[in-house]
Structure formats: C-alpha cells, structure tokens
Structure 1
C-alpha cells in the first residue's frame, strides 16, 4: 500500500531525527517549516506553501494522536527540543501538564481530550471496583486522616506544627479552639511559643473571620505565600465597619504597618475607642497583626491593663512633654505587636480559576474524601458547584478520584487516591477506643459532612450543634456523648443501655484528668437534673463528686 501511495506522490520520504520517514505529501511544507526537513522535488506548489506556526501545529497533531508524553519523546520522534513550544501550549490551555501515568516520575504533557478519554475508561473500571462505605467508616477515617492523637509528645516541635497547619489553612475557628483543642491533638505536645515564633517570623498569618461576642472571634491561619491564592475565609453576613473611627484607622494602616502606640499618636481617637475600632477591623478580616498573642486576650482594655500593672508602672512614666504624651499608652496584650491591613496580602489580581483550584486542593488535603456537605459546611461562596470544575480537572490530572465512596451522601464525591484505600481499611479495622473531639474540630464530621443522629427519646428540643466549647465523644464511628458548652449539660446520643456509653463517659473523664477540658459542673443530663439522672451512679463511679444540684469533676 505504501508503494502505491508513493507511486501516486501521495506519500514521500524525508529525513527526520537521522532516520528516513514517510509522511503525507501534503505535509511536506509543514515538516520543512517545523523541522527543516527538505522535501523531495516534483511536489505541487500547494504542498510547499509556507505554514505559520508550523512546529506548534506539528506538536498539537502529535498530542492529539498520542497518550501522555514527555519532551524526550518529542525529541526522539522529531530530533528537536520542543520544551519552549510545549510550555506555550500548556499556558494557552492546549496541553495539560502533570505526572499523568501511574507510577510516573516526571512531568508529562497530554491533549485534554485524549486525557479525558483515557480517564473515562480507567475511572469506569475503578468505580466498579469501589463499593461505598457507610457513614461510620467516614467518622473513623477523618481523625486518622488528620493525624489526631497519632503523634507522641516526644519529638513534637515547630516543624510538626508546620505540617499540621498545611491542610488546615483558611479554616475559620475560634482562637481558643485552635490552641486548646485542634493543634494539640495533631502535634502531640503543643506550645503557644511555637505559634508566636511562626507569626513573628512572618511565616504564618492570621485573618479574622467574624467576632464572637466581645471576648473572642474566629480566625483563619495561612502560610504567608498562600494567603493570596487561597483567599479570605468566609465572613458572617453583616455590614462592614464604616464609622469615622474605622476610616481613620484604615487610613493610618494604609500608610504602613505600625504599633498601637503609633496609632495613638497619628489617629485622633481615645485609646479605648481606637482599640475597639482596631479589633472591629481585625474581626472583619481587614486588619491583622504580626503577633498571635493579641488573639489570646483581645478585649483586655487599656485601662484594665494599666490597673493590672499597678501604680508603680505609672510612676515610671517620665514627666514633661514627651513623657506625658505617652502616659497610659502602654500596650495591653490585646493590642501588642504590629498592625497592618490585609489587603496587600490578599491581592486582587489573583486568577479566580487559580484560587478555586487552590481551594479545591486544600479541602481535599484536609478531608481526604470531599463531599458536597463538607464544602457547604466550610461556607465556600457558591457552594460545591463553585469548585466542581476544578475538582473534575484534578480528576483528569489523576490527582483526585470521583466516585460514590460514602453511602448516603451526595453522589458527586472526590477523594485523593490514597484516601480511598485508607477509608476502606478503616471500615475493615477493629473499633478503636472512644475519641473525644471538640464539636467544631474538622475531624469531627457530625453536623457538617454527616447529620446528627436522631435522639432515641424523640425529644428534639435538646439540640446538639457544632459550637465552640462543646465536645463530642465518638465510638465505633458514631457520636455517643455530647458535652454542652460550659460543661453544665451532657446529652447521650445512643440508647441508655448501649454498651459504648460507659466507655465514652470514661473517655470524657480522662480528658478532664489530662487538663484538656476544664472543670465540669453537670447540672443536666439528657435534660434532667444531673443528681436524679439514671447515669448519676455511673458518673460518680468514674470520679464525679456529688454537690448541691450538680456533679463536678476537676483535673
């Protein structure tokens, strides 16, 4: 057949990469302009016309007819270094780049449509192989995936804290929950000094995500280089701070980072008014500080701080013009450190697609298996649909898998490949000991990815919620006990005779003994007076002390 085509001058022989190759005669001009291959004589002029962007067209044709390939593959095929052209085609979206083949150890390129066909074929096989697990497996998987209580206290340090923070970026939690509940469970032995060091060095940045009354608020933590790409955390609905005091503080901070004492000099506001305005901007995500310490005592007023330092401190203020100017301005813990606007960190020029991709990646890293319910619980603007295309793209690149991994949740679920195997391994493993988690801990799925179980007594008036200060005891992948915020109420989430109940209560007692949970003073158990509860004798046997109208437990 080749001889017939050559005889008809429909196929011609040219030299490529030191080898004789047969090509379509109509492509003689293309190969000449792309590779410098000399065409044979006697071809029609139409076959020898100049071909614009010849090498780019040749590479696109090669990609459309091959699976994932490397720059070396192109060199061996055509005898040229096409790295620059491949980079251009990647940038304009013509080609995708990544470690695309199983077991690949180098970057490869592929035509998007070719990769989609390959992925569709392979994913169809994979989806048939994966049977969904029930929700209990997810509840057991998440703490393991997030390394809760997996690290011993020995060897803990600032490097382990860095590792723990990577998948937790952009997660908004109350300050005290970060340092009391979330980070210690992932680091092994947490020291606030490590967080102070990371913030002081500029490596970690915090952004406010809404006030919680007058004493605290939610904050999200970021590595500085990731702030712009991940974007600000979700903020509660409400008007932005817009008083004259807020405008004055914004104007001063726009000139550059400064200490609170600088603000006192440059902004014509009373110290306490200035402090309130500054924290309003911080909780609104507009201002931040290069120290973490202010978050631990954000509403300690200047007047109170001065009283606590005592009269001796006031006596040390130098008299005269300059000393008097500073009188009473020693920074309280809630305003120490350098303050600055967050706008330069967030940058408005970030590609929205790149930001959605980064968000999809960090959520996958955090949860391992990502569902619609989890994305909604995170407060992502636009919900699951806003990052669905990026998740699908990660599937195309082989970074994630799409399937129906957890029974009863939305049909569109995405997971990291390693997470699927661990999810199934957890389902087959023996039950682990009861685990006590903060209700808002991202490793605690109930009230977010999973619904709370219906109460056995049918009483819906005693609601359990994901609220800061509350704790949940998980056993066998189910919530067994819920400790209300403040430690005055306890609710059981299983039948009274469930064999897991006593173990869950014992685990709660152990958390108090270790100092992870402060003193408990139970007044109600399942809505009844604690002293009259059928669980009262069990609680006393575990170490609770009987007192007037309550059962108490201390470390």
Structure 2
C-alpha cells in the first residue's frame, strides 16, 4: 500500500505496472497483493489523463475510433484520493458504437458484471470485452479488481489459449463501472496543495526540471505557490538541494536529513529499474539520452566513490525479456 501511495498520480502503461514496476519495487510481489487492495475498496485504477481523441473538436477527427493498446497509460491510486486526481470529466467523442452502448448501459445500470453488460447491450461477449478495453483506454471505466484489466491486456487469455494446467479464466469476476468525477471537487488551490504533497512524498526533493514526466500535475506556477505556503508554515524546507538546476527547490525535512547522511557516509550505489518506472530520469536530470518509458529496456545507474571523489552518475541500458 505504501508503494501505491508513493506512485499514485503517475500513469504507467497498463502492461508494465506489474511486470516491470511493482515486481521490482515490492519484495515477493504477487498479483493477489494488488487484487486484495482493489477488492477491499482501498485502491482503484483507471486512466486519469484525457485520451487525445476525446479532445478533438473537428467533426471529422472527432469520430476517429480510440484504439486500445497494452501501452495505454493507467494510474493506480487510493480510492479516498480520487476527488483530487479526477480533474475533469471525460468526453465520449471517438468511441465506437459498441463502446457507446456499453458506456450507456453502465450509466443506466451502475456497476455491472460482464454477463450483465452482454445481456443489457445484446452484443457478443467478445464485443463487450473490446468495448470495455476501449473505454478503459479512454479513461471512462474502472473495475472492482486489477484482474479485470489483466484479462483484457492478455491476448492469449482473451482467446482462451494455454495448457489446461496453466490456463487462466478468460473473464474476470469483478464488476465494471464508469470512472466518474466526485460530487464535490476540490478548488484549484486545494488540488495544487494536495498534488504538491504527493510529489514531495514521491520524490522527497522537487524542482521544476524533475517534473518533466508528471503529466497530471498542475502547472508549476500553481505548485510553486502551494510549496511556498507550505514552507512558510514550516512543513517543508526551501533551498538548494540539487546543484546544476535553476529555480526554486523544496524538500521534506526527512529527505534533507537523508541527503546529509549520504553525503557524510558515501557508498557504492547500483540500481537497475525498468524504463517505465518514474525513476527513469535519464536525459531529464541525469546524464545521457532520454529513454522512452514505453521502450523494452532496463536502465542501470551506478555511482562509485573512489578516494573521496564522487564522479557523475553513469547510465547504462540493455534490452530485457518480458518487455511490452
């Protein structure tokens, strides 16, 4: 749950969440850990950023169909924090006829199981599955559990392939529901304040350049005002924590203490992460070229301390199996 709290508000491709990010961040991770959090009501998932096709105004482009893929961005977040993460209502432009019918059925019926949607729409099961995947990729629906999303992004499972011993159920048991905005949305200042706290929880130290891939965050000027208010109240500290970058920087007190302890007792550091992980900062604040979070790569960081000299971070990339 702590990892979810740290990563909420950051979208990662649907197929990379478990295979690339959670398995490397959570010791002995198993899918049922996330399923239990979802089914208990503590955690939910969904696309938070608007799909580009939903923002088109031109009559010709507006009808362009949304094509879901395994790299569709999805966020995992606490249900209680949904009000400030769900920023604006999603439109239904660009949906297929099947997608619109399933969305209408969910609007009429509320949360529904797959067989109920098949009956309500009169469509084939495979058509409803495709429609749900389209709606999930558009940021219009969510489900009781993450198993619902796994069933959609696994093509072999959807085709019912696999040996009898390893074969997974083709359909997930959870219900589907529209990803609706809360009745009471926070004000822009409240959202900026809450998002600033989330960024501090994720990074410890924040400054403008660090937020290059924080696509859901408010504008930096709004975050800056919230951070200055927090500094004035003594909740965080302002200063120069990372050299080589312009602009104001802010940090949690415990992050400052940690940075000082690392500086006093330097040690060798080696870290390998997936390109989809938020820590993939190559070419953003670290040396090297940018590495796409959608690439089938892992990113290695190494820092060696030799005779008290601290050379810059070195970045290495290699292909890895199990990529999207």
TM-score class normalised by the smaller sequence: 0.7 to 0.9
Deviation at 1:302, TM superposition (A): 10
1:349 aligned onto 2:185: yes
Q: 1:245 aligns with which of 71, 94, 98?
A: 98
Q: Which residue of 2 aligns with 1:474?
A: 301
- Deviation string for 1:410-452 (max 9, x for gaps)? 321111112122123323433324211112322343244x144
Q: Which residue of 2 aligns with 1:222?
A: 77
d(CA) in 1 for partners of 2:300 and 2:159? 39
Q: Which residue of 2 aligns with 1:420?
A: 256
Q: 2:5 aligns with which of 158, 162, 166?
A: 166
d(CA) in 2 for partners of 1:421 and 1:177? 33
Q: 1:443 aligns with which of 279, 284, 287?
A: 279
**Unaligned 5+ runs, structure 2:** 52-65, 304-311
- The answer (yes or no) to whether the contact 2:13–2:294 under 8 Å persists in 1 is no
Q: Secondary structure of the equivalent of 2:152?
A: coil
Deviation at 1:303, TM superposition (A): 9.8
- The answer (yes or no) to whether the contact 1:245–1:277 under 8 Å persists in 2 is yes
User: Based on CA coordinates, which of the two structures has the bigger radius of gyration?
Assistant: 1
> What are the within-5 Å matches in structure 2 for residues 247-266 of structure 1?
247-254=100-107, 255-266=109-120
- The answer (yes or no) to whether the contact 1:208–1:285 under 8 Å persists in 2 is yes
- The answer (yes or no) to whether the contact 1:169–1:221 under 8 Å persists in 2 is yes
Q: Secondary structure of the equivalent of 2:74?
A: strand
> Aligned in 2, Cα 1:431/1:407: closer, same or farther, shift over 3 Å?
same
- The answer (yes or no) to whether the contact 1:356–1:386 under 8 Å persists in 2 is yes
The total of aligned residue pairs comes to 294
Q: Which residue of 1 aligns with 2:306?
A: none
- The answer (yes or no) to whether the contact 2:41–2:79 under 8 Å persists in 1 is yes
> Aligned in 2, Cα 1:227/1:389: closer, same or farther, shift over 3 Å?
same
- The answer (yes or no) to whether the contact 2:129–2:152 under 8 Å persists in 1 is no
Deviation at 1:402, TM superposition (A): 1.7
Deviation at 1:343, TM superposition (A): 0.5
Deviation at 1:239, TM superposition (A): 8.2
> Aligned in 2, Cα 1:191/1:464: closer, same or farther, shift over 3 Å?
closer
- The answer (yes or no) to whether the contact 1:440–1:467 under 8 Å persists in 2 is yes
Q: Which residue of 1 aligns with 2:170?
A: 332
- The answer (yes or no) to whether the contact 1:241–1:281 under 8 Å persists in 2 is no
d(CA) in 1 for partners of 2:316 and 2:76? 30
Q: Which residue of 1 aligns with 2:194?
A: 358
What's the Cα RMSD here? 3.2
> Aligned in 2, Cα 1:169/1:347: closer, same or farther, shift over 3 Å?
farther
Deviation at 1:348, TM superposition (A): 5.4
> Aligned in 2, Cα 1:304/1:201: closer, same or farther, shift over 3 Å?
closer
d(CA) in 2 for partners of 1:425 and 1:307? 53
Deviation at 1:270, TM superposition (A): 3.3
Structure with greater contact order relative to length (CA < 8 Å, sep ≥ 6): 2
1:375 aligned onto 2:211: yes
Q: Which residue of 1 aligns with 2:134?
A: 280
Q: Secondary structure of the equivalent of 2:238?
A: strand
> Aligned in 2, Cα 1:411/1:216: closer, same or farther, shift over 3 Å?
closer
Deviation at 1:339, TM superposition (A): 0.1
1:175 aligned onto 2:10: no
Q: Secondary structure of the equivalent of 2:212?
A: helix
Q: Which residue of 2 aligns with 1:24?
A: none
> Aligned in 2, Cα 1:196/1:381: closer, same or farther, shift over 3 Å?
closer
TM-score, length-scaled by structure 1 = 0.48
Deviation at 1:272, TM superposition (A): 2.7
1:268 aligned onto 2:122: yes
> What are the within-5 Å matches in structure 2 for residues 184-203 of structure 1?
184-203=23-42
d(CA) in 2 for partners of 1:438 and 1:280? 26
> Aligned in 2, Cα 1:518/1:263: closer, same or farther, shift over 3 Å?
closer
- The answer (yes or no) to whether the contact 1:177–1:468 under 8 Å persists in 2 is no
d(CA) in 1 for partners of 2:47 and 2:294? 18
TM-score, length-scaled by structure 2 = 0.79
> Aligned in 2, Cα 1:464/1:343: closer, same or farther, shift over 3 Å?
closer
Q: Which residue of 1 aligns with 2:228?
A: 392
- The answer (yes or no) to whether the contact 1:439–1:466 under 8 Å persists in 2 is yes
Deviation at 1:408, TM superposition (A): 1.4
d(CA) in 1 for partners of 2:123 and 2:115? 12
- The answer (yes or no) to whether the contact 2:272–2:299 under 8 Å persists in 1 is yes
